[in-house]
Chain A
Amino acid sequence: MTTEPHSDPDVYSAFEGDLPGTVTPSALRRRLRRYVPALVLAFLVLVVWELVVRVFDIEEFILAKPTEIYSTFLDEFDTVVEAGWTTVREALLGLALGTVFGVLAAVATARWAGLREGLLPFAVAANSIPILALAPIANQWFGLTSITAKAAVVSVIVFFPVMINTVRGLTEVDPGELELMRAIAAPPREVVRRVRIPNALPYFFSALKVAAALAVIGAIVAEYFGGRTASLGFYITQQAGAFKFAEAWSAIIVGSFLGIAIYGSVLLLERWAMPWHVSLRTADDR
């Protein structure tokens, strides 16, 4: 009744089918068909939403109509895109910093077993900290309008998943593979290069995908505690605070789009880095 470590279903795999790749027409059609129920539901929800707002004559500051959000989105396009540009830079910088530190910490932890044992309770404790509370401090340290301040918060958010998963990937290696390397007297460097790193890649990417999705949200929330006026979090706070929800939703759309875009980039990177992995095979390849 145990599961394979690699079979961890990815939460965000809901988007994975959208990835451009070499698929046969029939496989493509089958994949598209998987999304039919979701698309039908989306359409229905939008129609019902629009109708409810119109029929019951609900004021805009309670619930905006989808059509209204759409036209507001077009009107506000330049503003929200500029805001998105700030936020995406914060998210990407934070993602990069958090990933680098996470991997470095993971390598050190995997290398020295004693450190691992000591870090475990620390990681558990750190995992229970509402990281958001660090945002005001980061603002003070790096400046309210500085990109670094938000990136710092994002990097802390990214750090733990990347580190925990990479440690697992580096240490939970098939003993048979290690024995094989031992049998051919491979030097430790080669064992790391040919066994441990390839083994860690799926774990690493699994964490990176989650981190990618969290990065944008982390940046937006960090902006809540103050930041540039041209940033998604600030914009959403302002508009939602003034009950201009159509404007707020326009910014949310941009935020979601950015999150999905970064996530998609990580997927592409994953395909490039480990084309051999099972999770990337389509049903037809099996």
Chain B
Amino acid sequence: MVAGAVDTWTEGRRLPQWLRSTLWFVAILGFLLLMWEGYKFLWTEMGWSWPVRPINRSMPHTWDIVDALFSPARRGGSDILLVILGEAALFTLREAVLGFVIGAIVGFFLAVVFVRSPLAERSLMPYVVASQTVPIIAIAPMVVLWAGRNDWPQWIAVAFISSYLTFFPVTINALRGLQSPPPTASELMRSYAATPNQELRKLLVPAALPYIFTALKISATASVIGAIIGELPAGLPNGLGRVLLRFASSFSSAPEKLFAAVIVSALAGIVFVAAISLAERMIVRARPEVFQAEPESLSVATHRGIA
């Protein structure tokens, strides 16, 4: 029996990919939790306080954080914190999704204009890049103010703030994707006397799709960040932004609530990105593996929108 069990291992019949990845993920997660608790234990024992003091008021126990998620948010309240946070996350996601859609459309449109007109690219591209060096916290109050003057709902204003972050990765990657076919592919289309629209539809856009999806995943995260930041000047009480700010101010009395809110914010981001990945798998099928993996490459993966 034992020998047989050993054989299955040595025969190279390995665990399926997803299971191995999941196991590794769980292992690393467990390792991080252990580090957290181990740090608290060791630093308390040794009386160390650098870099972070190991007291419960700044580093709550992991189980306290989980416990906080399932306890009533307010003393005597009926809703548990997880429900409150979940509702806040849904509210923020609504803004984020709208901002994401606006940003994706604008970003794609810009890329098409750029690929059609090199002059437009040369004149506008530096500003597209420069636009991202302007922190949205500076723009957010202006947008909120404008929206207020025009009687738009505040959450729509937040969506526009969020779209300011999301259009950029889409423009950059879509442009790269639209420019990815080799010159001979364009010559081929030319030899068929294809119209510019046909070339766009049959050659450029399909070639750009994997690049665009990579950007959309980046944009999904960025849109959540944009929505959280946008909620602050808008003074929207029901989103994650305010919740984070509120729990940050009550950190010294209930630190685990802030950690819980951060975890839910992270989950909101992960859920959004996962949804885009799913859409990608359904739309971008039947490509060689290299082709799918390629656009995932460096600069793209690193252009996470931050703010």
Contacts and interface: CB of A to CB of B under 8 A. Distances in A.
A–B direct contact (CB < 8 Å): yes
Given A37-B119, A122-B28, A141-B52, A1 B298 contact: no
A264 interface: no
Contacts of A225: 244-245, 248
Interface stretch (B67-75, B76-84, B124-132, B186-194): B124-132
B56 to A, nearest CB: 12
A194 to B, nearest CB: 22
The B interface is mostly helix, strand or loop, or mixed, namely helix
Given A9-B176, A140-B248, A164 B302 contact: yes
Interface string A1-28: 1110100111110110000000000000
Interface residues of A, number: 81
B282 interface: no
A49 interface: no
A117 interface: yes
Contacts of B262: 133-134, 136-137
Given A9-B176, A133-B261, A259-B133, A241 B233 contact: yes
B28 A213 contact: no
Contact of A118 (B25, B181, B290, B307): B25
Given A132-B306, A133-B262, A148 B51 contact: yes
B28 A233 contact: no
B21 interface: yes
A34 B247 CA distance: 50
A121 to B, nearest CB: 5
B303 to A, nearest CB: 6
Task: Decide if the interface of chain A is mainly helix, strand, loop or mixed.
Answer: helix
A121 B141 contact: no
Contacts of B217: 127-128
Interface in A125-177: 125, 127-134, 136-137, 139-142, 148, 157, 160-161, 164-165, 168
B215 to A, nearest CB: 11
Given A129-B269, A130-B269, A237 B137 contact: yes
A260 interface: yes
Given A206-B302, A210-B302, A248-B138, A140 B258 contact: yes
A221 B294 contact: no
B244 A136 contact: yes
Contact of A165 (B272, B290, B302): B302
B165 to A, nearest CB: 10
B298 A206 contact: yes
Contacts, number: 228
Contacts of B224: 130
Interface in B271-307: 272-274, 290-291, 294, 297-304, 306-307
A84 interface: no
Given A119-B28, A213-B133, A240-B137, A38 B123 contact: yes
Contacts of A11: 129, 172, 299, 303
Nearest to B146: A62
A93 B237 CA distance: 34
15 contacts: A10-B299, A14-B129, A42-B127, A129-B221, A129-B270, A137-B259, A137-B262, A142-B51, A160-B302, A168-B298, A217-B135, A225-B245, A236-B137, A251-B138, A256-B130
